[in-house]
Amino acid sequence: MIPNYEQRVYAGVLGKVIGVYMGRPFEGWQRDALEAKWGLVERYVHEDQGVPLVVSDDDISGTFTFPRALEDSGLYADTPAAAFGEAWLNYVAEGLNIFWWGGAGTSTEHTAYLRLKQGYTAPDSGSIALNGQVVAEQIGAQIFIDGFGLVAPGDPALAARLAMHAASVSHDGEAVYAAQVVAAMVSAAFVETDMSRLLDIGVQCIPADCLIARLHRDVRAWVAADGDWRRTHDRIMAEYGPSKFWGGPHVVPNHALMVMAWAYAPDDFQRALAIVNTSGLDTDCNSGNVGAVMGVKVGLAGINAQYDFQSPFADRMLLPTAEGTRGVSDCLTEALHLARLGRRVMGWPDAPAPKDGARYHFSQPGACHGFMNEDDAFESRGTAWAGNPDGTALRIIAEDLSRGHTARVSTPLLCVEEGKSGPYAHMGTPRLYPGMTVTLTGSTDAVEGDAQAVLFLRHFGRTALTYGEPVTLSPYEVVTLTLAVPDADGLPVTALGIELRGVNRATADLDVDHIAFAGVPRFTLPDHLPLAGATVPGWISTLRYVSHFNFVTQDGPPMTELCHDLGPGVLVTGTTDWADYTFAADLCLHMADAAGLIVRYQGLRRYLALVQRGGKLQLVRQYHGETVLAEIPHTWATDAFHRLAVTCHGAHITATLDGAPLFSVKEPALPHGGAGFLCDMGKIGFRAAAVTDG
């Protein structure tokens, strides 16, 4: 086993994310423009460009989504290429997230996704034979691949094999070889500290006569001869530059720049990122791959040795997919998920969940689970420092607490602000719902004056915060804060925070040991779901549109209207934490080939549904293909309402129609997941929807 495995994975995840955030604001720039503006790009420059630091980015979303195929297949180290294609169809919302949707023949990933929809399976879906070399050798396979090194620590051959299977969904040829090199280097960095050896190990996993292997030999020879990365950069551009390769962003020029950065800065995280970013081209992709290898190699101390890369974003990540549980996440949460998969891949025993499975546990140095001081609010600007220097607790130090001057430290649960998620549509569902309770356990250090602490929630569309019961703080005592999540008329929770308040210049130091979520969601939805433009905050939607128009009669009862084109579209909320519940709604069909309720939702290809279609009411399982579990003949009159309900209790699934028993089946394959609606080719409406006891 790898000593300190979880922490090393965390360092690799941080390296990947830091690299992407650093390179994102100037993606596609050339070296001359970068040097003219910044000289050597060795810091975050997002504020110089007027863009946010934390955004949705394909490099991050793909990297931390596609390894879920290992778990979904249940085969872990033996997961075949076809299972990764299935993960694409399950977690990718077409045209909305993870990929650059540039069109068939232009975007490699878009092309491969369409091939999967046509019925091709990997590796055919990404093959040169099917899509041509120009499309199949773009950069995408490389940028999504670091996770397969993190789940195969110290076994570069296994990492390269998993990378080959995952990459072949969309790519072929040199693109797959480049991906294998990156995954193998990430894997080997757990046990090898010499960069020259790491580069050797990566190349040993691919054919010696391929272009990527030749590129490695050339670049490393140039580095040895030149001693100046700018001179080597000029050689790369002359021999392997973009002008040599037709089509979109090709893997070869970008991989060459990565080799150069590793070779010139073998032990210096900041220097390696500075070189690869100042080199230009696909900077967020290249910087992310370089950062992942360097993060595992140099560890947490090496990442922040010369520059504080971590504090400016406090581990925050956005992972928009068609399954919303981790739409807003953080680096430690994702690292522990990958480490759990890695233990299964390697056949190692599971590690115990930190602090009895608390949602936020701060169990690695620097890990803040996204908690930051709210400096964008006047009353809390500059009032607190939040950090985790020793990996045991979130320390909040607040000074000058007085009336109108509070300290607020919060973490996002949902991304709903326009312009905050980058160019990719953000989708997610909050981890907190009405019926649940939040409990914070911590302790105080020094406290002076009349200081209090209280938990708070922020809801979409509301300026007023929701507070728990405040607790008066005394020095050196245990602190417990609680907050019951209220029903807010369907408005989702967007943030969870801790507020420190006081009078007469009070001060307080609070160490948050952990924060736990408990209870089960139980709530009634409003007949008009809250909308934000074309989106439904807190819901995953792949529908054509959602609106409040009443298609039954102009003055009819309120309802939310769902409309979709050909193929099943979904509107779902909840998370994979949901297990036993009843989901019910009054459903109206205006015109639809299929419509109904979804439960135990785990993605577009993994759910249960009670569906009206083809003159029948059916209970179906969508799980590696569709299975009809039960059905009866049923005619649904146009614009008529029927109340449908599905109850999930363990493996026992029951359904009712207008209160009468309908189906009762055993279905163990999908033990958890959210709930919502399905509409295929038509228009439907719902009202009186509720999540109640199962």
Q: What is the CATH number of the domain that holds 112?
A: 1.10.4080.10
Q: Are residues 647 and 506 part of one domain?
A: no
In 3-state terms, what secondary structure has residue 284? helix
Q: Are residues 529 and 635 part of one domain?
A: yes
- For residue 572, pLDDT over 50 is answered with yes
Answer left, alpha or beta for residue 527, where phi above 0 means left and psi between -120 and 50 means alpha.
alpha
Looking at residue 10, the DSSP 8-state letter turns out to be: H
pLDDT digits (tens, 9 = 90+) for 14-34: 999 999 999 999 999 999 999
Domain membership of residue 358 (yes or no) is: no
Q: Are residues 531 and 499 part of one domain?
A: no
What pLDDT was estimated at residue 191? 98
C-alpha closest to that of 139 among 29, 287, 265: 287
Q: What is the CA radius of gyration of the chain?
A: 26
Residues 218 and 212: their CA atoms lie apart, in Å, by: 10
C-alpha closest to that of 202 among 295, 289, 82: 289
What pLDDT was estimated at residue 516? 98
CATH number at residue 545: 2.60.120.560
Could you list the residue range(s) of the whole structural domain that residue 648 is in?
523-692
- For residue 217, pLDDT over 90 is answered with yes
Q: Are residues 38 and 168 part of one domain?
A: yes
Q: Are residues 530 and 463 part of one domain?
A: no
Domain membership of residue 352 (yes or no) is: no
Neighbour-count burial of 354, counting CB atoms closer than 10 A to its CB (0-12 exposed, 13-18 middle, 19+ buried)? middle
- For residue 419, pLDDT over 50 is answered with no
Residues 365 and 110: their CA atoms lie apart, in Å, by: 39
CATH number at residue 415: 2.60.120.260
Burial string for 3-41 (b: 16+ CB within 10 Å, else e) reads eebbbbbbbbbbbbbbbbbbbbbbbebebeebbeebeeb
Phi, psi (rounded to 5 degrees) for 472: -75, 135
Residues with Cβ < 8 Å from 545, sequence gap 6 or more?
534, 563
pLDDT digits (tens, 9 = 90+) for 131-169: 999 999 999 999 999 999 999 999 999 999 999 999 999
- For residue 624, pLDDT over 80 is answered with yes
Q: Are residues 647 and 575 part of one domain?
A: yes
Domain membership of residue 422 (yes or no) is: yes
Domain membership of residue 337 (yes or no) is: no
What pLDDT was estimated at residue 555? 66
Residues 294 and 43: their CA atoms lie apart, in Å, by: 16
Averaged pLDDT for residues 196-219: 98
Domain membership of residue 324 (yes or no) is: no
Q: Are residues 536 and 469 part of one domain?
A: no
In 3-state terms, what secondary structure has residue 221? helix
- Lowest-confidence range among 64-73, 104-113, 200-209, 424-433? 424-433
Looking at residue 250, the DSSP 8-state letter turns out to be: B
pTM to 2 decimal places: 0.96
Residues 345 and 635: their CA atoms lie apart, in Å, by: 49
What pLDDT was estimated at residue 240? 97
**CA distances for 533 relative to 229, 418, 505, 623, angstroms:** 48, 10, 43, 32
Q: What is the mean pLDDT of the chain?
A: 95
CB–CB of 662/647 below 8 Å?
A: no
Angle at which helices 5-23 and 269-278 pack, to 10 degrees? 30
Residues 160 and 176: their CA atoms lie apart, in Å, by: 9
Q: Which two tokens stand for residue 609?
A: 């549904």
What percent of the chain clears pLDDT 70, i.e. is strictly above it? Answer: 99
**Residue the block writes with tokens 């995408």:** 140
Residues 450 and 453: their CA atoms lie apart, in Å, by: 11
Residues with Cβ < 8 Å from 678, sequence gap 6 or more?
568, 569, 570, 594, 595, 596, 597, 598, 609, 611
**Residue the block writes with tokens 């040993």:** 204
Domain membership of residue 336 (yes or no) is: no
Averaged pLDDT for residues 443-464: 95
- For residue 422, pLDDT over 70 is answered with no
Residues with Cβ < 8 Å from 160, sequence gap 6 or more?
180, 181, 183, 184, 187, 205, 206
C-alpha closest to that of 251 among 312, 351, 182, 347: 182
Q: Are residues 272 and 145 part of one domain?
A: yes
CB–CB of 175/87 below 8 Å?
A: no
Q: Which two tokens stand for residue 541?
A: 């939607």
- For residue 554, pLDDT over 80 is answered with no
pLDDT interval class at 246 (50, 70, 90): confident
What pLDDT was estimated at residue 421? 46
**CA distances for 401 relative to 468, 504, 508, 651, angstroms:** 19, 7, 8, 52
Averaged pLDDT for residues 511-536: 93
- For residue 418, pLDDT over 80 is answered with no
Q: Are residues 493 and 534 part of one domain?
A: no
Domain membership of residue 595 (yes or no) is: yes
Please count the structural domains in the chain.
3
Peptide bond before residue 123 is cis, with ω within 30 degrees of 0: yes
Residues 439 and 360: their CA atoms lie apart, in Å, by: 11
Could you count the other beta carbons within 10 Å of the beta carbon of residue 353? 12
Terminal Cα-to-Cα distance of the chain (whole angstroms) = 42
* Single-letter code of the amino acid located at 14: L
**CA distances for 65 relative to 148, 187, 252, 347, 432, angstroms:** 11, 18, 25, 21, 22
C-alpha closest to that of 137 among 112, 162, 161: 112
CB–CB of 562/571 below 8 Å?
A: yes
Q: Are residues 249 and 211 part of one domain?
A: yes
- Lowest-confidence range among 42-51, 242-251, 267-276, 414-423? 414-423
What pLDDT was estimated at residue 549? 81
Domain membership of residue 350 (yes or no) is: no
Q: Are residues 162 and 288 part of one domain?
A: yes
Q: Are residues 199 and 151 part of one domain?
A: yes
pLDDT interval class at 117 (50, 70, 90): very high
